[in-house]
């Protein structure tokens, strides 16, 4: 695996040698992950200090309406990545997916050891979105994806929420739980610090295999471009505290994750209050963050990446207003919400059972990994070799989806190398 990985790294050039491509399960020298250890809402009226433009081909624009990510021609794959990690938490996106056959909009959480929680939209399908997850880059089976009904996601903003907790993860659509993943799942549960990523890519590019093109809903018709996905707001709250999250060993288990000057789930209650406040359009004070003092000095003395985050955080803290009265109100509301949540989660259990029944259908089994992510694609090559030994059509789809990931993230030039590395 490492040989293939190296080939791909060489093919992609120096830009790939970023902290996020160091897999803590295979290397003991990965740098620690900058922790959010707080909460924020971002409306993208201008470039956000919380996210980095990956400078992939394509267009990223900010306006009073929020973020617009546009694919105009072959090879475009505009991508934003958070410059922080969360260790359990809630993430909400107000999103309008891109239309267009063969166009995929995506929003996901991913960790350095390739745990993943995904939300994806295929442009030819204006009635559904897909939820998916991966554990430690294991792509040997493709039965994790599920489809969920949503009304006109390409013309209407909807509220998609991911509640990633230690015991379970819940996907919500407009406040209703549509899927619950218990941490007892036999396929592995995401349990390592995750960053956020969002972008748009052409799954239906003619250079992709039939399987990928089919999954993406057909060939991309570039004459219909531009294709744009919109995000009017992202709300994030981290359940944990500390300045940095790191891997104490190579197990990838949550017990091995270390929070510098903090603890896992150290601000859980605060996070829930922050989230309720932020979804109400309010603001939260960063001063209530348990680890404020220790983390600010720790951030300042660490690596250059952290320093960038640190200065950006300063400007956003200045913007933040203290609202203790509001917080009290929120707290009362939060209690109500949590009763509601219990009801919802019972409903969700039913939904999830139903979903489990339908997920054996062939339709669901073709869901791809989130292929806009480099490291996911890299890891994907590992299993492509074994998967492609079987001749089932699904294996072909799987392999091609992975190849597409490489194409989308590294440009077409990397594809021959991928194929070479599989020989």
Ligand X SMILES: *[C@@H]1O[C@H](CO)[C@@H](O)[C@H](O)[C@H]1NC(C)=O
Closest distance to ligand X from the beta carbon of 316 (Å): 5
Question: Does the protein bind ligand X through residue 116 (CB under 6 A)?
Answer: no
> Distance from CA of residue 220 to its chain's centroid?
24
Radius of gyration of the chain (CA): 20
- Residue from 71, 313, 403, 408 binding ligand X (CB under 6 A): 313
Binding mask 186-215 for ligand X (x = CB under 6 A): ---x-x------------------------
Instruction: Record the tokens describing residue 339, joined without a space.
Output: 């009763």
Q: Does 146 bind ligand X (CB under 6 A)?
A: no
Query: In terms of DSSP bridges, do strands 158-164 and 168-173 run parallel, antiparallel, or are they unpaired?
Result: antiparallel
- How many angstroms separate the Cα of 169 from the Cα of each of 141, 287, 335, 373? 20, 28, 20, 21
Ramachandran sector of residue 315 (left: φ over 0; alpha: ψ -120 to 50; beta: rest): alpha
92 binds ligand X (CB under 6 A): yes
Name the minimum Å distance from CB 3 to ligand X.
19
- Per CB under 6 A, 166 contacts ligand X: yes
Residue nearest to ligand X (CB): 38
Task: Establish if 285 lies at the interface with ligand X (CB under 6 A).
Answer: no
Which of these ranges, 14-22, 97-105, 141-149, 327-335, lies near ligand X under the rule CB under 6 A? 14-22
* Least Cβ distance, residue 13 to ligand X (angstroms): 7
Write the DSSP assignment of 215-235 as a string of letters.
HTTS---GGG--EEEEEEEEE
Least CB distance to ligand X at residue 312 (A): 9
ω into residue 226 within 30 of 0, thus cis?
Answer: yes
Query: Per CB under 6 A, does 299 bind ligand X?
Result: yes
Q: Is 370 in the site for ligand X (CB under 6 A)?
A: no
Binding map of ligand X across residues 19-48, x = CB under 6 A, - = no contact: -xx--------------xxxxx--------
297 touches ligand X by CB under 6 A: no
What is the spatial distance between Cα 28 and Cα 22, in angstroms, rounded to a whole number? 9
Alpha carbon dihedral 22, 24, 26, 28, in 10-degree steps, equals 100
Marked catalytic residue, from 92, 116, 146, 277: 116
290, 238, 242, 278: which is closest to 90 by C-alpha?
A: 238
Nearer of residues 13 and 206 to ligand X, judged by Cβ: 13
Q: Does the annotation count 73 as an active-site position?
A: no
Contacts 24+ apart (CB under 8 A), 392-396: 393/211, 394/142, 394/362, 394/365, 394/366, 396/209, 396/210, 396/211
Question: CB 396 → ligand X: shortest distance, Å?
Answer: 26
CB of 137 to ligand X, least distance (A): 14
SS (H, E, C) 2-65: HHHHHHHHHHHCHHHCCHHHCCCCCCCCCCCEEECCCEEEECCCCCCCCEEECCCCCEEEEECC
Position among 31, 72, 251, 296 found at the interface with ligand X (CB under 6 A): 296
Judged by the rule CB under 6 A, the positions of this chain that interact with ligand X are: 12, 15-16, 18, 20-21, 36-40, 54, 81, 92, 159, 161, 166-167, 172, 175, 183, 189, 191, 243, 254, 279, 286, 289, 292, 295-296, 299, 313, 316-317, 374-375, 409-410
Instruction: Catalogue the active-site residues.
Output: 116, 120
């Amino acid at each position: 695996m490492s040989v293939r990985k190296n080939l791909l790294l060489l093919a992609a050039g120096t830009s790939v040698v970023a902290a996020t491509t160091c897999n803590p399960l295979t290397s003991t020298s990965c740098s620690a992950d900058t922790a959010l250890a707080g909460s924020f809402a971002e409306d993208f009226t201008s470039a956000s200090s919380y996210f980095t433009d990956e400078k992939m081909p394509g267009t990223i624009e900010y306006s009073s309406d929020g973020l617009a990510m546009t694919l105009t021609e072959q090879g475009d794959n505009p991508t934003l990545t958070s410059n922080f990690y969360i260790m359990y938490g809630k993430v909400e996106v107000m999103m309008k997916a891109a239309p267009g056959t063969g166009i995929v909009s995506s929003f996901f959480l991913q960790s350095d050891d390739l745990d993943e929680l995904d939300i994806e939209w295929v442009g030819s399908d204006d009635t559904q979105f897909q939820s998916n997850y991966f554990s430690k880059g294991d792509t040997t089976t493709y039965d994790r994806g599920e489809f969920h009904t949503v009304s006109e996601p390409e013309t209407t903003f909807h509220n998609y929420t991911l509640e990633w907790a230690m015991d379970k993860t819940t996907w919500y659509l407009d406040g209703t739980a549509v899927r619950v993943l218990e941490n007892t799942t036999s396929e592995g549960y995401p349990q390592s610090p995750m960053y956020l990523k969002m972008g748009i890519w052409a799954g239906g590019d003619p250079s992709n295999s039939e399987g990928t093109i089919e999954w993406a809903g057909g060939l991309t018709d570039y004459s219909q471009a531009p294709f744009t996905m919109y995000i009017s707001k992202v709300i994030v709250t981290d359940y944990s505290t500390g300045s940095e999250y790191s891997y104490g060993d190579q197990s990838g288990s949550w017990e091995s994750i270390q929070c510098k000057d903090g603890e896992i789930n150290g601000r859980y209650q605060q996070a829930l209050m922050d989230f309720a406040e932020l979804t109400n359009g309010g603001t939260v004070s960063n001063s209530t963050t348990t680890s404020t003092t220790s983390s600010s000095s720790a951030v300042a003395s660490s690596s250059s990446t952290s320093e960038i985050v640190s200065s950006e955080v300063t400007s956003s803290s200045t913007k933040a207003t203290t609202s203790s009265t509001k917080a009290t109100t929120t707290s009362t509301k939060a209690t109500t919400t949590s009763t509601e949540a219990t009801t919802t989660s019972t409903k969700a259990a039913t939904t999830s059972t139903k979903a489990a029944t339908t997920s054996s259908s062939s339709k669901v089994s073709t869901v791809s990994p989130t292929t806009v992510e480099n490291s996911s694609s890299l890891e994907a090559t590992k299993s492509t070799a074994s998967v492609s030994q079987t001749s089932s059509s699904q294996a072909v789809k799987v392999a091609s989806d992975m190849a597409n990931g490489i194409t989308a993230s590294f440009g077409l030039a990397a594809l021959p190398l991928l194929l070479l590395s599989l020989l």
